[in-house]
Chains A and B, each alone.
Chain A
Amino acid sequence: MQPFWREAFGNAASLHHFGREAAAALDEAHAILGCAIGARAGEVVFTGCGSEADNLALRGVAFAMRHAGRRGPGHIITTPIEHHAVEATACQLRDLFGFDLTLLPVDGCGRVDPDDVRRAIRADTVIVSVMLANNEVGTLQPISEIGAICREHGIPFHSDAVQAPAYLPLDVNALNVDLLALSSHKFYGPKGVGVLYLREGTPYIPPITGGGHERGRRPGTVNVAGAVGSAAAMRYVARQRDAQSARLVALRDRLIAGVLDRVPDARLTGHPTERLPHLASFVFKDVDGESLLMALDVEGFAVSTGSACTSGNPEPSPVLLAMGIPPAWALGSLRISLGYDTRAEDIEALLEVLPRCVERVRRSALAFSHG
């Protein structure tokens, strides 16, 4: 990746020799990314981030399907547990552009039932979008089954797979997806690079218009260094993935057992087994998630919470509410992501600190009910 910041600074769209060098590197990055997910190089589109990939997928397909006619304003199917990049895009398409929107139900583990997809599909459905693995609770979706149903009905199927590549093998054909969104920094690549897999033949109107970069599907000068870095990262994770996942599942399950054992009023969120190998997620009754996050950060643990504290009045995560978790629990959500560098000692250290932090946050809420 390094040479493309400096020595090989050419624009891949230029004809001169600098550009050729960049173009060759970019070709190779497309090929590597495509190969890693069972796609052709030409079906890989580099974007500025995972959110952009999701946006291109939804907007590009929804408008193309509408433009192709016969289907009226169009109908979008997705889930209530999507990342904001899909959720906000789908809502905007509904609110400002007249698309109808169906949110599929999820069960207590956050799983979509493929039969519900079948039931939701209508003659005017333009796209179905279901995330591969949820970012808050780690639950894996039956993507392959859902994709098969969409294909039966001839409806383009998109999946946000941003959480997956470092831990799960991805094959767009086995998954039956027409579109797939990835984000490079989620598989140890550089930040600010996303990837959209766009199956050849999928109806698509580029939401960004401009030149012919990325075969016109995402005009705009490509971040060559970022693309090359992403390809290198994808190669790296492909070599490690199986061994790391097996190791992390053991650590994750040790963490889950430890937390449930040591913290009173704690529940695991998401599916107990059909979940991302590196992700443990919990809710704690009567705990302010933001305070818990800061308390753990002060102790040296970087974690996250699903409760959006965008105003100071904590709002429970809509994902958790959709799973039927009561608000008093959902406000105290905690997501702990492990990584390739996480060791068993880290898990034990966290298990030492976490019960104390939860206890302290609970006590402070009792002491000052800022009234």
Chain B
Amino acid sequence: MAKTRVVVAMSGGVDSSVAAALLVQQGYEVIGIMLRLWADEAGSGAAMHVNRCCTPEAVADARAIARLLGIPFYDIHAEGVFKQRVVDPWVAAYADATTPNPCFNCNRSVRFGFLLQKALALGADYLATGHYARVVRKADGRFGLLRGKDAHKDQSYVLHVLGQRELAHAMFPVGDYTKEEVRAMARAFGLPTAERAESQDLCFLTQGDYRDFLVRHAPAVARPGPILDTRGQVIGQHAGLPFYTIGQRKGLHLTTRSANAEPLYVIRLDRANNALVVGSAEELGTPAARVRAMHYVSGKAPADPLRCTAKIRYKAREAAGWLHPAPDGGATFVFDDRQRDVTPGQGLVCYAGDEVIGGGVITPDD
């Protein structure tokens, strides 16, 4: 019988390299593909600017690993798709005074859209990535998305956008291991990337932080306005709403402040008045988070309110509460305890134990 063919999304990093090695070891016919993603062309230099996750060195690493594993390797261009589906909506979301997470669109439209299509075209049955998450086939025949075994590395949060169609073709080979185990396997497989540092920042920023990027690509977002306290008093000036995020305390440069006053935090980005609203730590809390379009991994919204937990950021601690699906496809999550830092633009992702129920982008209150 012919081997099952699997395409691995390779980055040259340790996780996807070990994913590829594991699949080869498990007897699959493995093909490596690396996507060339768009990167900010900062400044006016003639030099090529490359995305952090696909520098020439990273491409060379991935190619060398593919060679070591004896698998075919293709690096293919996806700059246009990435710019259109990930970067442009990300900029638009900032312009809309929210704090977006670009990984959602990337996983939905680039990895499990564009790349999955390429994989199927190659005759593969699966697309594997180096994410820390797990896919299971459930008793009812549906596919479930579970957290990765390593609680610290778990990436199910950014994968909540996947549905049945994608999960039917998804594999996450390192999801059953801890990062330490993955590093150990990389050494055992003799992969040269075992000791490489983790990437942290947004992959398409080539210099500076996201604020510099926004100023270059959407200068209109840098519209200064007032900083208000919760009573509506002007206590400072902000440089443009997208430069701030909920819960932020530093860098506010408040003008009207008594020396012994309690610390103030950003509690709201008021789009309508272009005002940044600050308040005390207590005022930072929110009883609920609203999502306009809730995506359910199972493909079906629960009929009744659901008792579950929710994460409001990638690294946030989970909070218990009730998920209330709305008839319009949206949902509201009511926390048992008021939550700090509920940020429009970030994802609200709900879990039943280790299983992802679904999620969506948190909408502003106004």
Give chain A's interface residues, CB within 8 Å of chain B: 288, 290-292, 294-295, 297-298, 309-313, 357, 360-361, 363-365, 367-368, 370-371
Nearest-Cβ distance from residue A302 to partner chain B, whole angstroms: 11
Residue B136, interface by CB 8 Å = no
Task: Return chain B residues, CB-CB under 8 Å to A365.
Answer: 117, 121
Among B72, B79, B116, B122, the residue within 8 A (CB) of A311 is B79
Instruction: Name the residue of chain B whose CB is nearest to the CB of A295.
Output: B122
For window 21-75 of B, CB contacts with A under 8 Å fall at 31, 35-36, 72, 74
Instruction: Name the residue of chain A whose CB is nearest to the CB of B84.
Output: A313
Residue B113, interface by CB 8 Å = yes
| B113 in contact with A368 (CB, 8 Å) | yes
| A367 in contact with B109 (CB, 8 Å) | no
0/1 string, B335-346, CB within 8 A of A gives 1: 000000000000
| B84 in contact with A291 (CB, 8 Å) | no
| A367 in contact with B117 (CB, 8 Å) | yes
Task: Return chain B residues, CB-CB under 8 Å to A292.
Answer: 121
Task: Return chain B residues, CB-CB under 8 Å to A363.
Answer: 120
Say whether, besides A294-B118, A295-B122, A298-B31, A312 and B81 are in contact (CB < 8 Å). yes
Q: How many residues of B contact A (CB 8 A)?
A: 27
Task: Return chain A residues, CB-CB under 8 Å to B76.
Answer: 290, 294, 309, 312
| A297 in contact with B121 (CB, 8 Å) | no
Say whether, besides A291-B122, A309-B76, A368 and B81 are in contact (CB < 8 Å). no
Task: Return chain A residues, CB-CB under 8 Å to B36.
Answer: 312
Instruction: Name the residue of chain A whose CB is nearest to the CB of B29.
Output: A298
Nearest-Cβ distance from residue B68 to partner chain A, whole angstroms: 19
| B31 in contact with A311 (CB, 8 Å) | no
| B121 in contact with A361 (CB, 8 Å) | yes
Task: Return chain A residues, CB-CB under 8 Å to B72.
Answer: 297-298
Residue B243, interface by CB 8 Å = no
Nearest-Cβ distance from residue B165 to partner chain A, whole angstroms: 8
* Complex Cα gap A360–B81 (Å): 22
* Complex Cα gap A365–B121 (Å): 8
| B123 in contact with A298 (CB, 8 Å) | yes
| B113 in contact with A291 (CB, 8 Å) | no
Residue B114, interface by CB 8 Å = yes
Task: Return chain A residues, CB-CB under 8 Å to B31.
Answer: 298
| A294 in contact with B81 (CB, 8 Å) | no
* Complex Cα gap A311–B51 (Å): 13
Q: A291-B122, A364-B121, A365-B121 are in contact. List 8 more A-B contacts (CB 8 A).
A: A291-B117, A309-B76, A311-B79, A313-B80, A364-B117, A368-B113, A370-B110, A370-B117
Nearest-Cβ distance from residue B63 to partner chain A, whole angstroms: 15
